[in-house]
Each structure stands twice: as structure tokens, then as C-alpha cells.
Structure 1
Amino acid sequence: MAQSFVVHPQNPQPRLLKQAGELLAKGGLVAVPTDSSYALVARLDDKTAADSLRRLRGLDERHHLTLLCRDLAEIGHFARVDNRQYRFLKMATPGPWTFILEATREVPRRVSHPSRKTIGIRVPDHPVALGLIEHAGSPLISTTLIPQDEDEPLNDAEEILSRYANQLAAVIDGGPCPLQPTTVIDLTGPEPEVVRRGQGDLSALGLD
């Protein structure tokens, strides 16, 4: 049965985030609020948890999972970033954007795209998500919490708990999130390419 941690959305209680981080360390999946929508997260180094995450969402290996990082420096550890990409990332992070970048060897092959060797990476602009990453001690793999065969992400922590009580280790209730996933931007080409429109003002990045 999933645990429920009700936290303040702007000043989440460290004690509760620590407990959620301990559940991640034991191989559990956790639902966490972000600046785009609720997301499912697991530890990067846990193959079983990653498989469970894909299975719960109904995703195949070609679907990009997203790596939630604390800051730009951490992005550079898990993705190859040239000067042009770095300037763009510096302008856009933190925020509701997911960037497709070439993965480094620090990213397990099971997480990166099987043919392109790319990974989705973002720095969320949400105290709860950032606090959980901090307590986990490393970036977390994630995917938007959209139920299998549905189109809209879930936004209510109680509904998430009732629907996935036996599949999640915990739900962190930080109140409602926006009902849109992140905007996905591919930075592997000569120019940024918008792959999916979601949260965020593209004009602020010079892309609209």
C-alpha cells in the first residue's frame, strides 16, 4: 500500500522528503508534483524500478524517459553539452522543459534511447521535486503520470493514491499541478526543435 506524504508546496518538510527518498532507495516508485504535472520517479541505478515505471505507464524502450537533475552542473555529468547547448540550457532552466541530449556513459543503456543514445533531461522549477532529488542523492528517472490508454496527466494526489495504491511506494501530495506535460525540445540537431508543446512560453526561448 502506497504511503501518502502531504507536504507544503513551497517549503516541503525535509523529514517527509527523506522518508520518500528512502522508499526510492528500496526500489519503490514515487509520484511527485513538478512545475508541469505529477510525475512518476525512480532511482537511476535501479533496473527493476525502471522496468516497473515503464510497465505502469505502458511505455516501450523507445520512449524517452526523463532524467530529473538538480542543476546545470548535474546535466553536464549525464549529457554531452557543447557551448551552444549550454547557453540555451542556462537560459531555459529551471523550468517546464525537457531537453533531448546525447547521453554520456553515466546513463545506463536501458534508460537511454536504444538507437539514438539520447536521453531526456530537465531541471524542474518546483521545491518538492528538487527536494526529493536532493534527498535521493542523485538524479531520478521520471515520466509524466499519464494513465495507460489515457491522454491527460493526473493532477490530484488522492486520485493517484486510489488508482495506484498497490503499484507505488508513495505519493507526495504537494497540491495540484498544471494539467500539461513539459514542452520537449530536441537539442541534438543544428537548431533546437520543438518535439512536443506543453507547459512553458516558447517565445521566452526565442522559439515561437
Structure 2
Amino acid sequence: MSATQNYSASYTAAETHPTALLVWDAPNLDMGLGAILGSRPTSAHRPRFDAVGKWLIDEAERVSNKLGTDVLPEATVFTNVSVGAAETVRPWVEALRNVGFAVFAKPKVEEDTDVDPDMLAHIQRRYDEGVLRSVVVASADGQNFQELLEKLADEGIPVTVIGFHEHAAWALASDAIKFVDLEEIKGVFREPLPRVDLDRLPEGGAWLQPFRPLTSLLKDRNSKDHD
């Protein structure tokens, strides 16, 4: 059996204890964070997973108290690894595992290769095992997750989405889903995010910086000219 097969077997191992499950869509949240910052996130604005873990432990305790039975937290970060990026990604993956998170890493073979199907499969797996007592999805991708989450909520399983309110209108609008803005979780960010809420602008107005320089249009035009 190959190393990949060993890892897959570990990932699909059955759970027998009541579980509060967190699945984290790393590519999606990185994209959302980059949109807020207007640039690639630096260490100052990277989420601290130890803080997320503590939040999930508290969530599991709340569910335990409500149900009158012990519920254990389980957290997995789902990510893509591009060709040649393994050495860059490895320290981050090892840090996550050291905190207590599992990691599901999938090669970025094509542009549209993503981890959403794997996240959905993992949620469904825990449900089929009969251990799912609550589920938290960290993602802004409502198109993929909303239907399953609302079905679980209809069955009495508490469902939560964590992310950024700027990109989570689908979760905010759902009566079945609880939404928690990532920045509301204590200690997740070392510094406040430079967010501008168009619904709550300061009286003096606010500057919204471009996500990319105007000259990038020249690159787009040159690329089209060569096609």
C-alpha cells in the first residue's frame, strides 16, 4: 500500500464518538481574506488556528451541555497544493497538525480542481456514521454547501458557517444557518482587518483601494492580442 493510500485510509477512518465537526476551506477563505486586504495575506493577517481550535472546543462543550452527552471536537483543513509548492506549504501543514487539526491536501492538477467535494464527502461520512452532533463550515461557497447544511439543520443538527460577512450573504440570509464572522472569534487575527462595510460607512467617507494596479489592464489586453 502506498503512502497516499495509507493517508486516505486514515482520513476515512470511522468515528464512533459524538462529534462537533469543523471543515475549513483553505483556498476559499484565503481568497476572501485577500479580497479584504487587497493583497496576499501576511503573517499579521493570517488566521491563528489555535484560536479557532479553542472556539471549536467551546462549541463542542455547548453542544455537550445541550444534549447531556460528551461531544468531541474534530477539525480538518482542506487545501490544494500546487506543483512545486510542497516545500512552501509543508511548515504550515505541520503547524496545523501540531495544533490538533487534520489536513486533507489535494494536488492542484487543473485550475478548477478544488476541495469542496471532499469537504462535502467528509460531512456526509460523519453523518452516515451517526456521530454528527454539529457541523461548522468555514467557507464562503454557498452554492456547494447550503443545500446540505440546510438539510442537516432540518434534522436538528446545529449548523454554523464561519467566514467574512462581505462574502457570506447566503449564510446570513438563511434562517437555518448560524453565521459567525471570523474576526469575531477571539484571538484569530493579530491585527484588525482593514475592512470597510458599505452598509456602515463613516460619516466622512472611506477610501476603497483597488485590488490591482490599473496598468494590469495592459497585460490583459496584450494577452488577448496574442490569443
TM range (shorter): under 0.3
1 or 2, which has the higher helix percentage?
A: 2
TM-score by length of 2: 0.22
1 or 2, which has the higher strand percentage?
A: 1
- Higher relative CO (CA 8 A, sep ≥ 6), structure 1 or 2? 1
TM-score by length of 1: 0.23
